[in-house]
Chains A and B, each alone.
Chain A
Amino acid sequence: MDPFIAIILAVFLPFILAGILPAVERLVKDKIGWYASGVAFLSLLLVAVAAPEVIRGGAVQSSVQWIPSMGLNLSFYIDGLSIMFGIIVSGIGVIIMSYSNGYMSTKEDLSRYYRQLLLFMGSMLGMVFSANVIQLFIFWELTSITSFMLIGYWRNRSLSVYGATKSLIVTAGGGIFMLTGFLLLNIITGTFDIGTILQDPSIITTIKGHDLFLPALVLILIGAAAKSAQGPFYIWLPNAMEAPTPVSAFLHSATMVKAGIYLIARVHPIFSGTDAWLVLVGGLGIITMVAAGFLAFRQTDIKGLLAYSTISQLGYMMAMYGYTTYQYPGIGVASATFHLLNHATFKACLFLVAGIVAHETATRDIRKMGGLRKELPFTFIIGSIAALSMAGIPPLNGFLSKEMFYESSLEIGQLLGGPFAILIPAAAVLGGVFTFAYSIKFIDGIFLGKRRNDELPKHIHEPSMIMLIPPGFLALLVIIIGLFPSAAVTYMIEPATSGILLEKANVYVSLWHGFNAALVMTIVTFIAGIAIYTRYDAIAAWQDSFNARHTKISINYVYDSIVDGAKGKSSSFAAFMQPGPIKPYLVSLLVLFIVLGTIPLILVGGLMIPPGLAFDINIYELILLCLIVVSAVGAAVMGKYIYAVLAVSAMGYLVSLVFINLKAPDLAMTQILVETLFTIIFLLVIVKVPQTFKEHLTRSVLVKDLLISSAVFVTVLVLLLNAFQGITSPFESISYYFIENSVPLAKGHNMVNVILVDFRGIDTLGEIVVICLAGLGVYNLIKSRSDSK
């Protein structure tokens, strides 16, 4: 199959099949999870079908026209990097959705759960294969939205809602920054197409020399950091742990949080090799890695611990992609890519294990656990393999990528020279030490030692195979990649690295690579890690007491005060802008009209009342106009509805006489018919609405309203008097056309009729539609009675 078609299917099939999911659910009932994992498997196959050609021949790009006028196409860029992400997303998707069959109770709203998972998977696949940045942005925000819905899956838990809102504000907000960055990139290059930029070295040179280089980089980096929970944006990820555990494993460890890393890798060729890239990306990664690793200590929630660990591990990748100098722009790329794959395997596995533990013990508090190895032996083995891999113990895959991380840290340190030769490797080791400590805590706290108290259920037992096989499979992968890295490296890491570096990359990974500096660093990590682990609880206690003493030194505090402040401000603004009764709105509109109507006249120095007005009028017309005014005044001052209605309908009939006088016979006829109908409707309503309410006009209200009405009167009068003096129009009147062509084109002598039914026939159709809608509206209003009556 053509790789392009395979990828289009892989991206859009989840969307389509998620659409028919409710129908399928009616057929298969509780087994719907297997349908969803089948869909994920289909996507995995399709991505795999596209893979060989890309691995052999490099990037493939094709497009379908979308909005050609804006230079936007639906286009997919398929290279080693996107294939690797595609495999991870759909592969982990299969595992997660199979596991969910055991995890999610059949009482849950399974249809919604799997539909959103599939939508997320489709968006994520669409994101990684997008060839133009606008398309990428759309899929990017779709992943944010589906993540929002999945975190808030339990809608009636306030913590879920809080976590969901927070993740949406941070990640989707970051997406807006990213879009702005893309637009700047478009200003520089004139294209939205990633492939075009990547395949033309001259464009990349232009970008690097451009004034907008730094703003574009910073904006895109904010988007990536928000998505991947880096730097100050980490705050949403711990709260996202309120999602069902399979969701956390899928979105918030293996795939969605890696979208930011993906973006960094994708724009790597465009921005890397500069100081700004090194400082911003590398610096952000190192700081996040160390800080989040440290903050993990005080987590008592096992998922919270894993969340901080995820942030820290993403910091590793960010740091490695940031390692760059002018001569060697891609020092850490291969190791970062390898770590990305390894992290997806061991972290998803850890989350699934945490899910099993929480499922069986009905708590996520690590302080209540301990000694679970007896009850959950298989879970213990699987969890230990994954945690040890995260700690970097050989021969597991985490060890390999951590070695490479140390090597590249040493390399960049030496290239930069000076204090960096010590600082960067030291920071790397520090990150490794923290990782080691909390990984051991995960095993020790849950499975080893003794039960701290007996709050746990009496009978804890292994879950069904449905829940054991998925993490077991991942643990197997952890071992296989660790022992035999060459297959993964040849078929995934090398093509992905080539995709990032835009040249054929040769990556060499082996379990034993001699006794070198990196190995020394690993040994140092283990020793320091064990040393720190003995003080683990003391450090956690110190962190807790620090937090209790300084509640304001916290990014969450800043976030909460901004969000709460915004809520308060907007509600007071709404209260100010929308006081309630209609009158204030009307008054402000009328005052605006008065001001806008009179100010220009005063400004141009025109006379309010033009000179030379003619008042000559024959007596019939004068009587007619007086009668109109009298009936209008009558409608206004008469209290009883019936008299007011009769007065206003008398006025309507008088207006039809005016129309006759103004040489408009059609209007006069229409007016008489409409007025009759109007009077009937009015009287019918008044029969049903007895006059119970009588507005008592206080003096101040009366004066104020009379003042406004008089001002409106004066404004309209001045405008009209000036208008009838003859204002010249800058444009030719189009009426001439109708007068000229009424007979020749439409064969009609009554021009008004011809315009209505012929020249402007569609307008009349619109008018009829309005009448129909009004009729339907009236009908429904009358039919819709509240249940209480």
Chain B
Amino acid sequence: MNPTMLSITIALLFGIGTFMILRRDMIKVAIGITVLSHATHMLIVTSGAFLGGKVPIITSDHESGSGIIFMDDIAAGVFAPIVPEGTEMIYSDPLVQALTLTAIVISLATTAVLLILAYRVYQEHGTTDLNEIRRLKG
């Protein structure tokens, strides 16, 4: 997928999410946080996806050297780039996908807590207006 277009999409989602978490309604803020987390997940996965990369599932028997190959020599001060020239990137980066998978699940947990909190606040105070809640004591 074209990285430029993806970047524009992700940035737009960040902008929309930001607008929504600035609202006064707690439910709207929760929706805004969801939008932001979607954007973040896409951003992280995109950073590990390469043009022509394969799904990170090894289908055939393992071929040695099929991964990313590095020619770094830190002692000599030479740092290898992530994708050295002339090296074919065979798989999408599995690590960022594993990280994102964890992040998706965690964001479900936090959003659930946030929503229940909004529900309880509404039960106790009869409003979901953050400014109104601020004025309440106890």
Binary B-proximity of A732-746 (CB < 8 A = 1, otherwise 0): 111110111011100
Closest Cβ of chain A to B29, distance in Å, is 8
Contact partner of B19 (CB less than 8 A), chosen from A636, A644, A778, is: A636
Asked if A724 contacts B7 (CB within 8 A), the reply is yes
Asked if A677 contacts B43 (CB within 8 A), the reply is no
Contact partner of B34 (CB less than 8 A), chosen from A652, A729, A755, is: A652
Identify the closest chain B residue to A710 (Cβ): B15
Binary A-proximity of B60-76 (CB < 8 A = 1, otherwise 0): 01101011111010000
Q: Give residues 543-589 of A contacting B (CB, 8 Å).
A: 580-583, 586-587
Q: Does residue A615 face the partner (Cβ distance < 8 Å to B)?
A: yes
With contacts A583-B22, A720-B43, A751-B58 taken as known, whether A628 is within 8 angstroms of B109 at the C-beta atoms is no
With contacts A636-B16, A678-B108, A689-B118 taken as known, whether A617 is within 8 angstroms of B1 at the C-beta atoms is yes
Asked if A692 contacts B19 (CB within 8 A), the reply is no
Contact partner of A735 (CB less than 8 A), chosen from B94, B100, B118, is: B94
Closest Cβ of chain A to B58, distance in Å, is 5
Most A CB contacts (10 A, CB to CB) among B34, B64, B91, B123 go to B34
With contacts A628-B13, A635-B31 taken as known, whether A750 is within 8 angstroms of B56 at the C-beta atoms is yes
Contact partner of A692 (CB less than 8 A), chosen from B104, B112, B126, is: B126
In angstroms, Cα B80 to Cα A390, docked, is 83
Asked if B134 contacts A581 (CB within 8 A), the reply is yes
Asked if A667 contacts B101 (CB within 8 A), the reply is yes
Closest Cβ of chain A to B55, distance in Å, is 5
Q: Does residue A590 face the partner (Cβ distance < 8 Å to B)?
A: yes
Asked if A658 contacts B42 (CB within 8 A), the reply is yes
Contact partner of A648 (CB less than 8 A), chosen from B35, B49, B59, is: B35
Closest Cβ of chain B to A708, distance in Å, is 6
In angstroms, Cα B134 to Cα A616, docked, is 49
What residues of chain B lie closer than 8 Å to A744, measured between beta carbons?
Answer: 62
Asked if B1 contacts A713 (CB within 8 A), the reply is no
In angstroms, Cα B109 to Cα A391, docked, is 74
Contact partner of B112 (CB less than 8 A), chosen from A615, A663, A760, A774, is: A774
Q: Does residue A416 face the partner (Cβ distance < 8 Å to B)?
A: no
Identify the closest chain A residue to B52 (Cβ): A663
Closest Cβ of chain B to A232, distance in Å, is 41
In angstroms, Cα B10 to Cα A96, docked, is 73
Asked if B35 contacts A632 (CB within 8 A), the reply is yes
Identify the closest chain A residue to B84 (Cβ): A728
Asked if B27 contacts A749 (CB within 8 A), the reply is no
Closest Cβ of chain A to B7, distance in Å, is 4
Q: Give residues 83-138 of B contacting A (CB, 8 Å).
A: 83, 91-98, 100-102, 104-106, 108-113, 115-120, 122-124, 126-132, 134
What residues of chain B lie closer than 8 Å to A692, measured between beta carbons?
Answer: 126-128
With contacts A581-B134, A756-B98 taken as known, whether A749 is within 8 angstroms of B59 at the C-beta atoms is yes
Interface residues of B toward A: which range? 35 or more
Question: Which of the segments A445-453, A464-472, A763-771 contacts the partner chain?
Answer: A763-771
Asked if B4 contacts A755 (CB within 8 A), the reply is no
In angstroms, Cα B58 to Cα A763, docked, is 23
Closest Cβ of chain B to A748, distance in Å, is 9
Asked if B56 contacts A670 (CB within 8 A), the reply is no
In angstroms, Cα B101 to Cα A774, docked, is 17
Q: Does residue A786 face the partner (Cβ distance < 8 Å to B)?
A: yes
What residues of chain A lie closer than 8 Å to B16, measured between beta carbons?
Answer: 629, 632-633, 635-636, 709
Identify the closest chain A residue to B3 (Cβ): A724
What residues of chain B lie closer than 8 Å to A730, measured between beta carbons?
Answer: 79
In angstroms, Cα B45 to Cα A665, docked, is 11
With contacts A615-B4, A781-B116 taken as known, whether A628 is within 8 angstroms of B18 at the C-beta atoms is no
What residues of chain A lie closer than 8 Å to B35, measured between beta carbons?
Answer: 632, 635-636, 648, 651
What residues of chain A lie closer than 8 Å to B83, measured between beta carbons?
Answer: 726
Question: Which of the segments A269-277, A419-427, A680-688 contacts the partner chain?
Answer: A680-688
With contacts A652-B34, A752-B56 taken as known, whether A713 is within 8 angstroms of B97 at the C-beta atoms is no
Contact partner of B79 (CB less than 8 A), chosen from A629, A729, A738, A750, is: A729
What residues of chain A lie closer than 8 Å to B100, measured between beta carbons?
Answer: 664, 667
Q: Does residue A362 face the partner (Cβ distance < 8 Å to B)?
A: no
Asked if A663 contacts B4 (CB within 8 A), the reply is no
In angstroms, Cα B124 to Cα A616, docked, is 53
Contact partner of A743 (CB less than 8 A), chosen from B38, B58, B108, B112, is: B58
Identify the closest chain A residue to B66 (Cβ): A739
Most B CB contacts (10 A, CB to CB) among A663, A686, A720, A771 go to A663
**How many residues in A have their beta carbons less than 8 Å from beta carbons of B?**
106
Q: Does residue A645 face the partner (Cβ distance < 8 Å to B)?
A: yes
Contact partner of B25 (CB less than 8 A), chosen from A677, A695, A706, A736, is: A695
Asked if A678 contacts B11 (CB within 8 A), the reply is no
Q: Does residue A625 face the partner (Cβ distance < 8 Å to B)?
A: yes
Closest Cβ of chain B to A736, distance in Å, is 5
In angstroms, Cα B57 to Cα A785, docked, is 49
What residues of chain B lie closer than 8 Å to A629, measured between beta carbons?
Answer: 9, 12-13, 16
Q: Does residue A716 face the partner (Cβ distance < 8 Å to B)?
A: yes
What residues of chain A lie closer than 8 Å to B70, measured between beta carbons?
Answer: 732-733, 736
Asked if B22 contacts A663 (CB within 8 A), the reply is no
What residues of chain B lie closer than 8 Å to A23, measured between beta carbons?
Answer: none
Q: Does residue A601 face the partner (Cβ distance < 8 Å to B)?
A: no
Q: Give residues 611-668 of A contacting B (CB, 8 Å).
A: 613-617, 621-622, 625, 628-629, 632-633, 635-636, 641, 644-645, 648, 651-652, 655, 658-659, 661-667
Asked if B34 contacts A689 (CB within 8 A), the reply is no
In angstroms, Cα B20 to Cα A32, docked, is 62
With contacts A663-B49, A705-B22, A789-B123 taken as known, whether A652 is within 8 angstroms of B92 at the C-beta atoms is no
In angstroms, Cα B95 to Cα A729, docked, is 16
What residues of chain A lie closer than 8 Å to B43, measured between beta carbons?
Answer: 720
Closest Cβ of chain B to A152, distance in Å, is 26
Contact partner of A778 (CB less than 8 A), chosen from B55, B116, B131, is: B116
With contacts A662-B49, A674-B105, A713-B15 taken as known, whether A778 is within 8 angstroms of B113 at the C-beta atoms is yes
Q: Does residue A16 face the partner (Cβ distance < 8 Å to B)?
A: no
In angstroms, Cα B27 to Cα A612, docked, is 42
In angstroms, Cα B28 to Cα A616, docked, is 35
In angstroms, Cα B67 to Cα A735, docked, is 9
Q: Give residues 457-494 of A contacting B (CB, 8 Å).
A: none
Asked if A736 contacts B20 (CB within 8 A), the reply is no
What residues of chain B lie closer than 8 Å to A785, measured between beta carbons?
Answer: 123
With contacts A613-B4, A738-B94 taken as known, whether A677 is within 8 angstroms of B108 at the C-beta atoms is yes
Given contact pairs A633-B16, A674-B108, A735-B95, a sample of 18 additional A-B residue pairs in the complex whose CB atoms are under 8 Å apart: A632-B16, A636-B20, A655-B41, A663-B53, A692-B126, A693-B24, A695-B23, A695-B129, A708-B19, A710-B15, A732-B70, A735-B48, A738-B95, A742-B94, A744-B62, A751-B56, A756-B101, A778-B113
Interchain Cβ contacts under 8 Å between A and B, 17 examples = A583-B130, A655-B42, A658-B42, A664-B49, A664-B100, A667-B104, A681-B115, A685-B115, A693-B129, A712-B14, A721-B7, A729-B81, A731-B79, A733-B82, A756-B98, A777-B113, A781-B116
Instruction: Spell out A's residues near B (CB within 8 Å).
Output: 580-583, 586-587, 590, 613-617, 621-622, 625, 628-629, 632-633, 635-636, 641, 644-645, 648, 651-652, 655, 658-659, 661-667, 670-671, 674, 677-678, 681-682, 685-686, 688-689, 691-695, 705-706, 708-710, 712-714, 716-717, 720-721, 723-724, 726, 728-736, 738-740, 742-744, 749-752, 754-756, 760, 763-764, 767, 770-771, 774-775, 777-778, 781-782, 784-786, 789
Nearest 10 CB-CB pairings of A with B:
A713-B15, A739-B67, A774-B109, A717-B11, A751-B94, A720-B7, A709-B19, A755-B98, A617-B2, A743-B62
